């Protein structure tokens, strides 16, 4: 279930991951922190940023983007510096890739396949 969050919560996630999210992705988190998105042939659970405001928001955001990214980075072949933003529940992730040394994440969403350990462009894009 998607729910709104606050700018400080999004900024905390960026600090923990040492990245800057694309503007449209940040706006999506602020308006709908979590939820689902569908792409051609797949449904994805979007990872929220952690929100400890209440027991309810803490529970809803327990599988947050920082935790899920750290977990994904332990997988063999997960791209260095990538941020996992959603999962299809089968081991594949939607990821945002870092731009060269800037800390800014690229706008183009990639699909990381856990079997091939490769990324392919997704139809999703979050503009800056």
Tens-place pLDDT, residues 58-84: 998 889 999 999 999 999 999 999 999
Calpha distance 29→36 (Å, rounded): 12
pLDDT of residue 97: 95
pLDDT of residue 93: 96
- pLDDT digits over 100-123, tens only? 767 799 999 999 999 999 999 988
Q: What are the strands of the beta sheet with 105-113, ordered from one edge? A: 36-39, 42-46, 83-87, 93-98, 105-113, 118-125
pLDDT of residue 39: 82
Q: pTM here?
A: 0.93
Calpha distance 81→13 (Å, rounded): 14
pLDDT of residue 70: 97
Domain ranges of the chain: 7-125
CA angle 71, 106, 110 (to 5 degrees): 55
Which one-letter DSSP state was computed for residue 50?
Answer: P
More confident residue, 67 or 3: 67
Is it true that domain 7-125 has CATH number 3.40.720?
A: no
Upper half-sphere CA count for residue 66 (Cβ side, 13 Å): 17
Q: Give the closest residue to 64 by CA, choosing from 44, 82, 85.
A: 85
CB 72 within 8 A of CB 93: yes
């Amino acid at each position: 279930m998607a729910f709104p969050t606050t700018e400080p919560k999004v900024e905390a996630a960026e600090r923990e991951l040492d990245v800057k999210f694309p503007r449209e992705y940040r706006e999506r988190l602020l308006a709908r922190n979590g939820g689902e998105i569908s792409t051609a042939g797949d449904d994805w659970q979007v990872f929220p940023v952690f929100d400890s405001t209440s027991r309810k928001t803490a529970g809803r955001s327990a599988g947050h983007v920082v935790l899920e990214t750290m977990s994904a980075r332990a997988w063999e072949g997960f791209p260095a510096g990538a941020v996992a933003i959603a999962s299809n529940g089968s081991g594949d992730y939607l990821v945002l890739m870092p731009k060269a040394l800037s800390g800014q994440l690229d706008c183009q969403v990639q699909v990381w396949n856990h079997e091939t350990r490769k990324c392919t462009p997704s139809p999703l894009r979050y503009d800056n």
